[in-house]
Structure 1
């Protein structure tokens, strides 16, 4: 096989892999946020680019939503998303969201504490590992680490 053929085969495989990962995502999501937070709107745009229709609700008590979702105390972020049967807390990289829906673990959701630079909706380069956690009933456990 020559280089061009090999490149085309590998490119095709990557495109098919990405398409199947995105196909596993639900068609709709609800994003709960503070009305003044613009980075949350940017995260919604990333989901919309994957074909997810996002409803944004910014007139709700976020603490109540986080408690309903089961987000562990101290591991919250600026927004909480209800997506399919799961909750997504904060600026979770889309690679981790795709993994959640591909594997469908028995958890309430996944999250990434704070607002790390370089995540969807947060400008700048990734300069440290993202430690995505899974959670159920306010208890967390490691889900995956994404290296810079």
Structure 2
């Protein structure tokens, strides 16, 4: 019988953990066909280590997906994603998704309502960009500010 050395066991555990981390980086994105800002946000995700799979839906099916996830019209944006069990709605920066996945709060996910200019996928940030909040959508449907961008 062979025994794993402590170093070998450490490498094995590290390899398994790395595989789990990579699996968590998969993003299933739902959008309407030809939406340029959605495609720009997907590029933002990919540039930050996520693998994105995009499924184009008609507007009715996309809205139904949002409603089923517990999003009201005040929280909706142009695209919806599912990442490691969390909902990500709108132009959420990858940095906040990374934080969400690291902290693993008991929540539905993150939301950036609308389409604020300067957010990922909505043009380059500028000193006079539109300020916006990334909201944590809680299980009870309430929200709290998770991060603010000037």
- TM-score interval, smaller chain: 0.7 to 0.9
2:26 to 2, 25, 28: 28
1:97-116 alignment runs, 5 A limit: 97-116=97-116
Distance in 2, Cα, partners of 1:55 & 1:95: 19
Provide TM-score, normalisation by structure 1. 0.75
Distance in 2, Cα, partners of 1:59 & 1:117: 24
1:1-148 alignment runs, 5 A limit: 26-60=24-58, 61-126=61-126, 127-136=129-138, 139-148=141-150
**Alignment check: 8 A CA contact 2:118 2:130 kept:** no
**Alignment check: 8 A CA contact 1:75 1:112 kept:** yes
* Distance apart, 1:147 and its partner CA: 3.4
5+ residue gaps in structure 2?
Answer: 1-20
Distance in 1, Cα, partners of 2:96 & 2:22: 12
Larger Rg belongs to: 2
Cα-to-partner distance string for 1:47-76 (whole Å, 9 max, x where unaligned): 111221111111251111102222233210
Residues 50 and 124 (structure 1), Cα distance of their counterparts in 2 relative to 1, 3 Å cut: closer
Cα-to-partner distance string for 1:80-123 (whole Å, 9 max, x where unaligned): 00111101000012222122111110001110100011111111
Distance in 2, Cα, partners of 1:97 & 1:120: 12
CA RMSD of aligned residues (A): 2.1
Provide TM-score, normalisation by structure 2. 0.74
5+ residue gaps in structure 1?
Answer: 1-22
Matched residue pairs, number?
A: 126
* Distance apart, 1:125 and its partner CA: 2.7
Residues 59 and 72 (structure 1), Cα distance of their counterparts in 2 relative to 1, 3 Å cut: closer
**Alignment check: 8 A CA contact 2:137 2:143 kept:** yes
